[in-house]
């Protein structure tokens, strides 16, 4: 039985994990580095431990031992998919709340994982190591060790291939310490559909339905929902079965996500598997009643899954908006500053997973996610109206953010019609126009005469350096 967990993360996910652990009667230890001395995630835990880096496996395991934690929850990002941390835990006799280090190693390699899936009979996107046949263009250059949408380049013709591979390779080397790249057929106008899966150490596997994550910028999700308007019961059943087969193929233990790309013809292909809790897991919780942190802990303790496939049902509709400290109108450059006013929306069917509060300092040290606004309602139409209302009620001043942008995206006719694909934002330039603003924010800002924070410059140190409109890794 797990009695105490060290949470090796920060921000909203560290708080989210603490909440369930407290409900389970499990003690929590939070960790922090210097810029996070006053971070809200420290208030959510029973005790706090100062560390030098969120990325040092040895230090994390040593800290867990020192404070007598019997398990480590890695959250998402940072060391969550690190075979090194999982192996260090295995060696030190600390429970890693996640899959085995071997699974992390295999699934962290986009080529190796594709190979495993092909063997298991799961469709994958055609890929090449060298020059693809001329008829296969456009192709996408991808980093073998990639993540977070980085290290990808679209190549329209053979003439541009060499340059794109070289620059993707450089980006991959600095971002992931692995310069290897490969080529994948570029699927046009695809939807990103992923399936949540759970596996225990007794050979039981289930899927907990899909999430549609097609609204993306820079290959990263910003709005997610479930159910997807693209799935018929038959397609859902076939994709769910493929996701369960993927989990079985690697004897997956814990909560994971199998990502697929769905083309306009209705054919789907395995993209990758994310071996951790996913940013967008709340929409699945809101429509199924499961608590994925609770399930992760139960599985890590060696317990059996609490649900059979036939126990699970999707009820209603849920949408998540990622609230980022960024300026969508200026190529999504990250923003910084101090949160002067933080008045989140409330009411029926609204959930807020936030990592910030009034007075929080937002710096370039970390991922720019501030909070996640999640709504649920009986129907998709009602969920959209609720999200619009909630975004309108959300007052966040002092740090520039994407709340108004999200409102404009959610308000488009195509979003309402469920006509989504990963090129949605490119096709809807009107969502970048600030003429249609949310009145309450403007009025409040004017009445409080809030001026832009002086620290809000255009240079970033995480997750890369933002220079002249593109990411460069330092």
Give catalytic residues, as residue numbers. 276
Q: Which residues contact 358 (CB under 8 A, 6 or more apart)?
A: 339, 340, 341, 342
DSSP label at 108?
T
**The entry of ligand ADP, Mg ion, none that residue 60 binds, CB within 5 to 8 Å by partner kind:** none
Using CB under 6 A, list all residues that contact ligand ADP. 76-77, 125, 140, 146-150, 175, 184-187, 190, 192, 216, 219-221, 259, 261, 271-272, 274, 278-280, 367, 422, 463
Polymer length in residues for the chain: 474
**Of 27 and 336, which has the nearer Cβ to ligand ADP?**
336
**Of 217 and 317, which has the nearer Cβ to Mg ion?**
217
- Is 280 in contact with 318 (CB distance < 8 Å)? no
How far is it, in rounded angstroms, from Cα 303 to Cα 97? 13
**Of 175 and 319, which has the nearer Cβ to ligand ADP?**
175
Least Å from the CB of residue 397 to ligand ADP: 25
**Of 70 and 83, which has the nearer Cβ to ligand ADP?**
83
From residue 130, how far is each of 137, 165, 418 by CA, in Å? 13, 10, 37
**The entry of ligand ADP, Mg ion, none that residue 63 binds, CB within 5 to 8 Å by partner kind:** none
Least Å from the CB of residue 311 to ligand ADP: 25
Strand order in the sheet with 369-377: 268-274, 254-262, 191-199, 205-217, 220-226, 317-324, 369-377, 350-354
- Is 29 in contact with 48 (CB distance < 8 Å)? yes
Least Å from the CB of residue 21 to ligand ADP: 20
**The entry of Mg ion, ligand ADP, none that residue 220 binds, CB within 5 to 8 Å by partner kind:** ligand ADP
Least Å from the CB of residue 224 to ligand ADP: 7
**The entry of Mg ion, ligand ADP, none that residue 406 binds, CB within 5 to 8 Å by partner kind:** none
Least Å from the CB of residue 192 to Mg ion: 8
- DSSP string across 421-448: -TTHHHH-GGGG-TTS--HHHHHHHHHT
**The entry of Mg ion, ligand ADP, none that residue 316 binds, CB within 5 to 8 Å by partner kind:** none
What stretches of 88-204 adopt beta strand conformation (E)?
A: 95-96, 127-128, 139-143, 153-155, 181-185, 191-199
How far is it, in rounded angstroms, from Cα 273 to Cα 25? 31
Q: Residue 227 half-sphere exposure, CB side, CA atoms within 13 Å?
A: 17
How far is it, in rounded angstroms, from Cα 459 to Cα 291? 38
Cβ atoms within 10 Å of 33's Cβ, excluding its own: 16
Least Å from the CB of residue 249 to Mg ion: 18
Q: Give the binding range for Mg ion (CB under 5 A) out of 55-63, 68-76, 208-216, 252-260.
A: 252-260
* x-or-dash string of contact with Mg ion, 254-293, rule CB under 5 A: -----x----------------------------------
**Of 149 and 378, which has the nearer Cβ to Mg ion?**
149
**Of 358 and 473, which has the nearer Cβ to ligand ADP?**
473
Total of residues contacting Mg ion (CB under 5 A): 1
**The entry of Mg ion, ligand ADP, none that residue 187 binds, CB within 5 to 8 Å by partner kind:** ligand ADP
Return residues touching Mg ion (CB under 5 A). 259
């Amino acid at each position: 039985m797990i009695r105490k967990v060290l949470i090796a993360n920060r921000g909203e996910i560290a708080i989210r994990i603490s909440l369930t652990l407290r409900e389970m009667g499990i003690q929590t230890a939070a960790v922090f580095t210097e810029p996070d001395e006053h971070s809200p995630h420290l208030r959510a835990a029973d005790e706090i431990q100062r560390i030098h880096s969120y990325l040092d496996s040895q230090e994390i395991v040593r800290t867990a031992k020192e404070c007598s934690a019997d398990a480590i929850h890695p959250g998402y990002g940072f060391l969550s998919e690190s075979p090194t941390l999982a192996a260090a835990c295995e060696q030190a006799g600390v429970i890693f709340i996640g899959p085995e280090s071997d699974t992390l190693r295999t699934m962290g390699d986009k080529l190796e994982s594709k190979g495993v899936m092909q063997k298991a009979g799961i469709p994958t996107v055609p890929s090449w190591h060298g020059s693809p046949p001329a008829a296969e263009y456009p192709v996408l250059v991808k980093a073998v060790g990639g993540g977070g949408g980085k290290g990808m380049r679209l190549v329209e013709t053979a003439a541009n291939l060499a340059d794109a591979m070289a620059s993707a390779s450089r980006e991959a080397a600095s971002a992931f310490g692995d310069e290897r790249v490969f080529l994948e057929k570029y699927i046009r106008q695809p939807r990103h559909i992923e399936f949540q899966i759970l596996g225990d150490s007794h050979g039981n596997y289930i899927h907990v339905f899909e999430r549609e994550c097609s609204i993306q910028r820079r290959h990263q999700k910003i709005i997610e929902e479930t159910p997807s308007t693209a799935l018929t019961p038959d397609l859902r059943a076939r994709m769910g079965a493929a996701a369960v087969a993927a989990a079985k193929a690697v004897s997956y233990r814990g909560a994971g996500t199998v990502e697929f790309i769905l083309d306009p013809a209705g054919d789907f292909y395995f993209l990758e598997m994310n071996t951790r809790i996913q940013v967008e897991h709340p929409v699945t919780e809101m429509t199924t009643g499961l608590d994925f942190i609770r399930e992760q802990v139960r599985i890590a303790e060696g317990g059996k899954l609490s649900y059979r496939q036939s126990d699970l049902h999707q009820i209603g509709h849920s949408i998540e908006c990622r609230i980022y400290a960024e300026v969508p109108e200026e190529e999504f450059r990250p923003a910084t500053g101090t949160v002067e006013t933080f008045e989140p929306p409330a009411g029926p069917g609204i959930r807020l997973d936030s990592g910030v509060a009034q007075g929080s300092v937002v710096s370039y040290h970390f991922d720019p996610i501030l909070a996640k606004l999640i709504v649920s309602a009986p129907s998709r139409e009602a969920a959209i109206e609720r999200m619009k209302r909630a975004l309108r009620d959300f007052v966040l001043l002092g740090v520039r953010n994407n709340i108004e942008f999200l409102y404009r995206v959610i308000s488009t006719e195509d979003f309402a019609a469920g006509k989504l694909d990963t090129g949605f934002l490119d096709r809807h330039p009107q969502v970048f126009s600030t003429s249609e603003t949310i009145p309450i924010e403007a009025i409040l800002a004017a009445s409080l005469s809030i001026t832009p924070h002086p620290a809000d410059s255009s240079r970033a140190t995480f997750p890369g350096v933002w220079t002249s409109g593109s990411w460069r890794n330092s």
